[in-house]
Amino acid sequence: MTALADIVVIAAAEAFRGDGEIFASGMGTIPMLGARTARSTFEPDLLVSDGEAFFVGNELPIGGSDKLVEGWIPFRSVFDTVWGGRRHVMMGASQIDRFGNTNIANIGPFARPKAQLLGVRGGPGNTINHATSFFIPKHTDKVFVETVDMVSGLGYDRAGTLGEWVRRNHRLPRVITNLAVLDFQTPDHSMRLASVHPGVTAADVQAATSFELVIPGDVPVSRGPTDSELAAIERLDPRGLRHREVS
Amino acid sequence: MSRDKRITEDDAVASLSDGMTIGIGGWGSRRKPMSLVRALLRSPLRNLTIVSYGGPDVGLLAAAGKIRKIVYGFVSLDSIPLEPHWRAARQAGAIAEPVEYDEGMLQWALYAGSLRLPFLPTRAGLGSAVVDVNPTLKTVRSPYADGEELLAVPAIRLDAAFVHLNRSDASGNAQFLGPDLYFDDLFLAACEPGHRYVSCERVVATQDLLKEGSFHTLKVNRSMVDGVIEAPNGAHFTTCEPDYGRDEAFQKAYATAAANPDDWRVFSERFLAGSEADYQAAVATWQAAVATSSAAVETSKAAVATSKKES
């Protein structure tokens, strides 16, 4: 029986498939592990960072310090890379709606939030400039909402009202949760159920979502890791930190 | 011989006035000019506009009720994602004018300020809540064939700037030795001459600057600096690589105390009531006590292990 965390890490890694020689940036354990697993297996040209200021050329475990530095990426260069487009980030989201508008900033009105969260951080710049995927460890109807309280990351509807350049470069490849993988591959870019994790039904996912998902007739089951992928995951996360993020 | 610009934190803060716009360098809980922030806390200054990639600097100033307006991309303690004082202040509606930007927009605002341009164009922020909550932001249309509409990020000019670097000579040729300069050079360059203050771990002779780092580390020159403050451990409890890392245990104690008004009173009386020297002494005492108690825990664990073996 494959652990849920391993299914989720592979789903995260799959987000970076086909990206080639760009900066695969993950915020948090599972997104970082997804990027590093993709690089260690099917997407070897990716650049990954230590989460501080360096690109690492070796297979660096989460929390590891034995780095082979292959480049310097201080925040200023990160912004340059974001605006230059050679990056795909996987971030968290406290709220997300059907078109992929996301909120990490605050719950309740901006003027006086019920809960002040992180602020918009790099969300606006990321989503308008390059591919942005999301990892949500607990899929609930409080997170998957009709309307987000503060748009820190642009969804397809908002991006669609901007210019042609934005429509060409804005891309939300996938949303990974503890229940499923979702994407926006529908004619109007409303959220679609792309696969369910083993043991989860499409009805379970819909029940944990406030808006109506596009659910194809035949929803595949998210794949588990191959033997060599699982070996890579174990090397990259020997302490099993991934299991603390989803269970 | 260049001018000796060495002063103290209190000299720097005494030169400022109510209502000024102060830029604070560093990023989150990384290489923050904390000794200057602590001097601000001791001062009667109020109604400040703060510009920061915010960390405990913003938390402390918010808790002290000194912030009227703030321009920021986030406020975070990094290893503790949410800043408790900042959360409390925002949730109480205590910050009169919060100007929340995308992180890259804030860089652009400072860069425009440093270049004496009225604005710089970008796509970052367009279509997001940043334009909804900042209705004074305007767009500009490309005059070229593309005709694209872009966000015009207005320049920020600072009245004062505080940054903390690793080394400096007495005239303000300053050096970062860690992995990231963050945007410290832009904070200084976007500031009107007069109140541009660099604190550093150690003041060194000019001829010694290249002993610890290559010329690439000299991104701040003396034309960008009005005052130099020697502040060993001055970034505490934030990081100051490679001189020291973040004091995670102290940051945790700070965040825990900040979440409760009674605990915060005790914490601020213990650490923030006196001078910078008092702060550093109180921290040293706290660290020694933590070391002793964790040693005691180790000793008692060992004793338990021994007694288990014996039984």
List chain B domain ranges: 9-118+155-230, 274-311
- pLDDT beyond 90 at B303: no
Task: Verify whether the Cβ–Cβ distance A166 to B123 is below 8 Å.
Answer: yes
Closest alpha carbon within chain B to A108: B91
CA of A215 vs chain B CAs: smallest distance (Å): 28
What CATH number did the domain enclosing A115 receive? 3.40.1080.10
Residues in A touching B102 (Cβ below 8 Å): 120-125
Residue A247 inside a domain? The answer is: no
Main-chain dihedrals φ then ψ at residue B155, nearest 5 degrees: -65, 145
> Best of B53, B74, B153 to disrupt the A interface by mutation (most A CBs within 10 Å)?
B74
Tell me what the mean pLDDT of segment A134-158 comes to: 98
- pLDDT of B310 reads 46
- Model ipTM value: 0.95
- pLDDT of B2 reads 86
Distance, CA of B158 to CA of B106 (rounded, Å): 13
Residue A90 belongs to what domain range? 4-242
For B194, the token pair is 């007069």
- A171 has a chain B CB within 8 A of its CB: no
- CB contact at 8 A, B76 and B238: no
Comparing CA positions, the residue from B66, B62, B64, B70 lying closest to residue B89 is: B62
- pLDDT of A5 reads 98
Q: What is the mean pLDDT of chain B?
A: 95
What is the count of residue pairs from A and B with beta carbons less than 8 Å apart? Answer: 129
CA of A18 vs chain B CAs: smallest distance (Å): 25
Residue A121 inside a domain? The answer is: yes
Tell me what the mean pLDDT of segment A69-87 comes to: 97
Task: Verify whether the Cβ–Cβ distance B27 to A75 is below 8 Å.
Answer: yes
Task: Verify whether the Cβ–Cβ distance A128 to B123 is below 8 Å.
Answer: yes
Distance, CA of B280 to CA of B272 (rounded, Å): 10
Number of domains in chain A: 1
**Alpha helices, DSSP H only, in chain B?**
9-14, 34-42, 56-63, 84-91, 103-115, 129-133, 184-189, 209-212, 248-258, 261-271, 276-310
Q: Say which residues have a Cβ less than 8 Å from residue B283's Cβ, sequence separation at least 6.
A: B233, B236, B237, B247, B250, B271
Residue A142 inside a domain? The answer is: yes
Q: Which residue of B100, B103, B132 is in closest CB contact with A125?
A: B103
Task: Verify whether the Cβ–Cβ distance B127 to A162 is below 8 Å.
Answer: yes
Residue A106 inside a domain? The answer is: yes
> Model confidence over A84-143: pLDDT tens digits?
999 999 999 999 999 999 999 999 999 999 999 999 999 999 999 999 999 999 999 999
Distance, CA of A215 to CA of A186 (rounded, Å): 10
Distance, CA of B79 to CA of B54 (rounded, Å): 14
> Model confidence over B132-188: pLDDT tens digits?
999 999 999 999 999 999 999 999 999 999 999 999 999 999 999 999 999 999 999
Closest alpha carbon within chain A to B125: A124
pLDDT confidence tier of residue A83, bands split at 50, 70 and 90: very high
At which residue do the structure tokens 């425009």 appear?
B112
- CB contact at 8 A, A6 and A225: yes
Tell me what the mean pLDDT of segment A203-226 comes to: 98
CATH code that applies to domain B9-118+155-230: 3.40.1080.10
- pLDDT beyond 70 at A188: yes
pLDDT confidence tier of residue B239, bands split at 50, 70 and 90: very high
Distance, CA of A242 to CA of A238 (rounded, Å): 10
pTM of the model: 0.95
- pLDDT of A1 reads 81
Surface-to-core class of residue A51, CB atoms within 10 Å of its CB (0-12 exposed, 13-18 middle, 19+ buried): middle
- pLDDT of A247 reads 77
Distance, CA of B33 to CA of B57 (rounded, Å): 8
- pLDDT of A89 reads 98
- pLDDT of A224 reads 97
Residues in A touching B75 (Cβ below 8 Å): 119
- pLDDT beyond 50 at B311: no
Tell me what the mean pLDDT of segment A14-23 comes to: 98
Q: Which residue of B87, B133, B149 is in closest CB contact with A110?
A: B133
Q: Provide the pairing of β-strand A95-96 with A102-103.
A: antiparallel
> Best of B83, B90, B95 to disrupt the A interface by mutation (most A CBs within 10 Å)?
B90
- B97 has a chain A CB within 8 A of its CB: no
Closest alpha carbon within chain A to B97: A111
Task: Verify whether the Cβ–Cβ distance A54 to B74 is below 8 Å.
Answer: no
Closest alpha carbon within chain B to A113: B91
> Best of A120, A149, A164, A167 to disrupt the B interface by mutation (most B CBs within 10 Å)?
A120
- pLDDT of A164 reads 94
> Model confidence over B75-90: pLDDT tens digits?
999 999 999 999 999 9
- pLDDT beyond 60 at B307: no
- A166 has a chain B CB within 8 A of its CB: yes
Distance, CA of A177 to CA of A162 (rounded, Å): 29
Task: Verify whether the Cβ–Cβ distance A154 to B128 is below 8 Å.
Answer: yes
